[in-house]
Amino acid sequence: MKVLILAGGYGTRLARDLENHADAYPHLVGVAKPLLPVAGQPLISHWMDMLRQCPQTYNIKEIYIVVNEAFRGQFETWRSDYPEVELVCDGTHCNEERVGAVGCIELGMRHFSIHDDLVVIGGDTLFREDFNLTDFLESFHTSPCREVGGAMAPCYKCKDEDTVKLGIVEVDDNEQVTSFLEKPSPHSTASRLACPCFYIFSSGCLELISQFLEEKKTGPVSDRDATGLFIKYLSSRRPVYVKEISGRFDVGNLQSYLDCIKHFKP
């Protein structure tokens, strides 16, 4: 099993907020979102702690991170404490050049020749403390989706007013995704299950990532930027199951970052 962390975003909303509050947060200006300090260490280091604590049964020895050229140096410095990590740069220098999150997944797969079951983690996301990565991996290994080229993802209950900001999944009684809705109005679905950027893809469905990108190659980057759009594509072709968690923190702007550090304050 391989792990791919997506850290190629530019955090434009957060950067704009920090520029407007530079006097209050000068130490945060210009820092890549996954490297922002949370409870005494970079956000991404919390994921590394969880990955290092996973049992040897899952054989997680190769961890890859997709970065951009603008923040590459910061990640090179950070990974000096993590010899198991390898980086690949998407070659972009600004948000306008971005290849999109799904494109970054494909880049990592191609660059590192990944053909195994793959854990994909959004580098600017943290789950609440009750999330247990080992339990999640065990659920995947015992799920029928692994044998038939499917995937597994977490979901959590969101508020009515938040559906318009999130990817929402509709599921059946077996917790299999029947529909994925990108930022729907609360009136267009009865579901309040949000699906964050964390997925376990079985090796049998990886080929569909390239197929998805091929079909979207002539469209705008927004068609392949949100990873949930690929989950929508995948769930109509292969089984995708969800496992409920209590919640997550997605660092998108300054307020969401402040909420995150307040929650994880030592």
Q: Give kind and range of the element (H or E) at residue 198.
A: strand 198-201
**Domains recognised in the chain with CATH numbers:** 2-153+196-228+239-263 (3.90.550.10)
What's the pLDDT score for residue 119? Answer: 97
C-alpha to C-alpha distance for 87 and 5, rounded to whole angstroms: 10
C-alpha to C-alpha distance for 241 and 238, rounded to whole angstroms: 10
Q: 112: exposed, middle or buried (C-beta count within 10 Å: 0-12, 13-18, 19+)?
A: middle
180-207 pLDDT, tens digit per residue, is 999 999 999 999 999 999 999 999 999 9
Provide the terminal-to-terminal Cα distance of the chain, rounded to the nearest Å. 32
Pairing of strands 41-42, 167-171: unpaired
Render 47-67 in DSSP notation, one character per residue.
HHHHHHTS-GGG----EEEEE
Q: Give kind and range of the element (H or E) at residue 181.
A: strand 177-182
Secondary structure (3-state) at 126: strand
C-alpha to C-alpha distance for 70 and 112, rounded to whole angstroms: 21
The predicted model scores a pTM of: 0.96
57-92 pLDDT, tens digit per residue, is 777 879 999 999 999 999 999 999 999 999 999 999
